[in-house]
A and B are shown apart, each in its own frame.
Chain A
Amino acid sequence: NAGVTQTPKFQVLKTGQSMTLQCAQDMNHNSMYWYRQDPGMGLRLIYYSASEGTTDKGEVPNGYNVSRLNKREFSLRLESAAPSQTSVYFCASSEVVDSNQPQHFGDGTRLSIL
């Protein structure tokens, strides 16, 4: 029962480097999300994808891009990493984007930008 799988689990980057965080879900969910979690800030939505082929900005999209590759996969890209992007990143999915639906999370990517 994989659920939501994120890779990598840990990553250290230098300022200015780029990287892509991968997320895949096997629950046949339509909607997928990327969050970041910082101490004292709670979970903040970066981008979400209501369904395959659509993406929308969340609360803190600046500095990030996303791709909904297919129904299963939703990737998050940092084009030019900055120290302010040091965080724990969580991918989540739900059956539909309706906020009556609970979200299921991957186990996170811990990203440090030096």
Chain B
Amino acid sequence: RKEVEQDPGPFNVPEGATVAFNCTYSNSASQSFFWYRQDCRKEPKLLMSVYSSGNEDGRFTAQLNRASQYISLLIRDSKLSDSATYLCVVNAGNNRKLIWGLGTSLAVNP
């Protein structure tokens, strides 16, 4: 099993739709979780950290399920500008390393 796994997609959704991505991780000792967004040929940008209690930032909601070892990202009322690749990032247990998923591609269509 890969350390961090994401469905590569692409997810094609109409504007206004709600879409959700999951990301599974293999190291039960992982403590830190992030979602980054990466536009085509650009740098990754932090979208949100994922806390144990879950967190919300506007149209974006992140959840952590430790029992099943996955994190999720929910995007409500999708905008054209949400089209990007969403990277799941998990820390590798007690060390300083971050493990990056390959990303899930989202295309929001008019």
User: A residues touching B (Cβ–Cβ < 8 Å)?
Assistant: 40-45, 48, 50, 58-59, 88, 90, 97-100, 102-108
Task: State which of A100, A105, A108 has its C-beta within 8 Å of the C-beta of B45.
Answer: A105
User: B residues touching A (Cβ–Cβ < 8 Å)?
Assistant: 31-32, 34, 41-46, 49, 87, 91-92, 95-98, 100-103
Known: A90-B44, A107-B42, A107-B43. A100 touches B91 (CB 8 A): yes
Q: Which of A90, A97, A98, A99 has the most CB of B within 10 A?
A: A99
Contact residues of B: prevailing secondary structure? loop
Task: State which of B32, B43, B95 has its C-beta within 8 Å of the C-beta of A100.
Answer: B32
Known: A98-B96, A100-B32. A106 touches B43 (CB 8 A): yes
CA separation between A58 and B32, bound complex, in Å? 19
CA separation between A42 and B4, bound complex, in Å? 11
Q: B residues within 8 A CB of A42?
A: 87, 100-103
CA separation between A42 and B23, bound complex, in Å? 14
In the complex, the answer to whether B102 meets A99 with C-beta atoms within 8 Å is no
In the complex, the answer to whether B102 meets A40 with C-beta atoms within 8 Å is yes
User: Which A-chain residue is minimally distant from B48 (CB atoms)?
Assistant: A102
In the complex, the answer to whether B96 meets A105 with C-beta atoms within 8 Å is no
Q: Which of A44, A45, A102 has the most CB of B within 10 A?
A: A102
Give me 16 A-to-B residue pairs in the complex whose CB atoms sit less than 8 angstroms apart, sorted by A's number.
A42-B102, A43-B87, A45-B98, A48-B96, A90-B43, A97-B96, A99-B92, A99-B95, A99-B96, A102-B46, A103-B46, A104-B46, A105-B44, A106-B43, A108-B42, A108-B43
